[in-house]
């Protein structure tokens, strides 16, 4: 019920913004109808995402599931893909920073750290 109220409030705020921008008004019934449709659509999205993950034999919804859900909206799919790639890049950068900071804490320079990684890779290949 709180989630439904939050959706209604957000839809009301968005309608107010559009109304001010376009110099028009939304009735309370219209806002309520948009809120209800939005809430039901979100429920459908959640069910679809669960089914996609389950079909892939996973218990966790991934970005690939979200992309599959958005496949019919080209611009939305493009936006989600771009954001997903940005997040992946940021995550990789953060991991690199953590690796470097942990190497420094261990008393190694970055060159020594790379040499240690290369040595361990060589050992694993042998």
pLDDT 10s digits, 65-124: 999 999 999 999 999 999 999 999 999 999 888 888 887 777 655 555 555 444 444 444
Q: pLDDT digits over 12-67, tens only?
A: 999 999 999 999 999 999 999 999 999 999 999 999 999 999 999 999 999 999 99
Residues whose CB is less than 8 angstroms from the CB of residue 24 and which lie 6 or more positions away in sequence, other chains included: 18
**Which residues are within 8 A (CB) of 35 and not within 5 positions of it... i.e. 6 or more apart?**
4, 7, 8, 11, 12
Q: What's the pLDDT score for residue 107?
A: 65
Task: Give me the pLDDT at residue 89, please.
Answer: 95
Name the CATH topology of 1-59.
Answer: Histone, subunit A (1.10.20)
Domain ranges of the chain: 1-59, 62-98
Q: How many residues does the chain have?
A: 126
- Write down the pLDDT at residue 112: 53
Q: How far apart are CA 26 and CA 117, in angstroms?
A: 62
Amino acid 108: pLDDT: 54
Contact 67, 77 (CB under 8 A): yes
């Amino acid at each position: 019920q709180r989630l439904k109220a939050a959706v209604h409030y957000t839809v009301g705020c968005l309608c107010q913004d559009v109304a001010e921008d376009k110099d028009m008004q939304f009735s309370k019934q219209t806002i309520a109808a948009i809120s209800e449709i939005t809430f039901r659509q979100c429920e459908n999205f959640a069910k679809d995402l669960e089914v996609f993950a389950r079909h892939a034999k996973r218990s966790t919804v991934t970005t690939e599931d979200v992309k599959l859900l958005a496949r019919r909206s080209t611009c939305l799919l493009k936006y989600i893909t771009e954001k997903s790639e940005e997040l992946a890049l940021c995550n990789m950068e953060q991991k690199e920073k953590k690796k470097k900071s942990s190497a420094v804490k261990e008393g190694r320079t970055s060159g020594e750290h790379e040499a240690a990684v290369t040595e361990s890779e060589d050992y694993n290949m042998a």
